[in-house]
Amino acid sequence: MKAVRASKKWLGLLPAAVSLSAGSAFADYALNMRQGVTETSQAVYSLHMILFWVCVVIGVVVFGAMIWSMIHHRKSKGAVAAQFHESTTMEIVWTIIPIVILVSMAIPATKTLLAMEDTSDADMTIKVTGIQWKWKYEYVDGEAAGVSFVSSLHPDHNEARLLGAGQTTASLEQQFGDQYLLDVDKPLVVPTGKKIRFLLTAADVIHAWWVPDLGWKKDAIPGFMNESWTQIDKPGTYRGQCAELCGKDHGFMPIVVVAKDPADYAAWAAEQKGAADAAAASADREWSKDELMAKGEQVYNTNCAACHMPNGQGVPPTFPGLVGSAIATGDAAAHIDIVMNGKGGTAMAAYKGILNDVDMAAVITYERNAWGNSASVVQPAAIKAAR
């Protein structure tokens, strides 16, 4: 934090005219880099704008000199080229000036980069795991310690984008505005005014966690843990997306961060802990078929409909249908195994670390008894035993 502030202070000592021009002319221009809501993002923006104007000045001087020379010293005006091979003075000038420019930019840039990597003295830690094609968030410490959930594309957006949904550009704009494919079922909630350390990894392929308003992007790599941090001082909702091409549904892997003031965040954390305790307790009771079917339909539409379609027909041969399939109507243990552990060599993901016992039992029961299928009911206890 101190390094970021020092970097910004140093930047403020650069020519005031450059900074004022950058702020007034391009601050809200749609094609420009956004300023963001963190000190890091604003420091990066300041570096970007100052370097931009330095390049503009260099371009104007260089091309201006070239154009002026071509106009006023052209052959048609009788100009005769000077006969010399070198100029020590000019060589010194055009060596020293670029060095001064580079060094003057390297100092604040280095300070900003070092500050971006400094995750020490964090107030809380959140582990972020990229999963095809969703994000898992685990609160390691703080008021929400122990809370974890998976964040997926919002069911309404997911349904609208599926093959055969019959949506038009006009209907999508009317229904979702400019947030189409940028909303989730469960956003990441963080407190304002706290330094938050992120641990980023992936469960399958390389993903990249990117929220432009925070000012950085970090790869999530299987078997490797990256670190980053942020501090958001203003409550609000900030959106991003996976920035690494991670498979067929890469474009449907949004990120939503909701920053709440400390009091609202504490209430949210208490609510999440209560819900987690209730979910753990519900896994120990026997559920009725109707309860499992109702919950299973919700889980299926969120996690499975994109590949197997809402009607269970699938998109063969890549994504087989579930209507009357050997898996959906056969041995329950085999069905549990493929949902829990996935299937190598196919796009079938492993849901062992994504769905809890109740959700997994519900979705398997739904697949075994929807669309005319008629098979056994799977209880959460069976999922717990299979883990």
Residue 309: what pLDDT?
A: 87
Pair (113, 150) in one structural domain: no
Among 281, 300, 324, the domain-final residue is 281
Residue 18: what pLDDT?
A: 38
Whether 122 and 195 have beta carbons less than 8 Å apart is answered as yes
Pair (270, 317) in one structural domain: no
Pair (7, 138) in one structural domain: no
For 8, phi then psi, to 5°, come to -65, -40
Query: What's 349's domain CATH number?
Result: 1.10.760.10
The amino acid occupying position 70 is M
Q: Please give the residue range of the domain that contains residue 21.
A: 2-117
Residue 118: what pLDDT?
A: 94
Residue 166: what pLDDT?
A: 76
Residue 229: what pLDDT?
A: 97
Among 67, 85, 117, the domain-final residue is 117
Name the 3-class secondary structure at 204.
coil
Pair (137, 245) in one structural domain: yes
Pair (202, 323) in one structural domain: no
Name the 3-class secondary structure at 332.
helix
Give the number of domains in the chain. Answer: 3
Whether 323 and 371 have beta carbons less than 8 Å apart is answered as yes
DSSP 219: E
Q: What is the pTM of this model?
A: 0.80
Pair (272, 305) in one structural domain: no
Q: What is d(CA 231, CA 234) in angstroms, rounded to the nearest whole number?
A: 9
pLDDT mean for each 10 residues of the chain (387 residues): 47 39 47 89 93 93 93 86 81 91 91 93 96 94 92 89 78 88 95 97 94 95 96 96 91 96 96 86 88 93 86 85 92 92 75 89 94 92 89
Pair (136, 184) in one structural domain: yes
Q: Which residues contact 309 (CB under 8 A, 6 or more apart)?
A: 162, 163, 164, 315, 319, 321
Pair (209, 312) in one structural domain: no
Pair (129, 145) in one structural domain: yes
Residue 8: what pLDDT?
A: 44
Residue 303: what pLDDT?
A: 86
Pair (129, 246) in one structural domain: yes
Pair (93, 240) in one structural domain: no
Among 250, 281, 312, the domain-final residue is 281
Query: What's 201's domain CATH number?
Result: 2.60.40.420
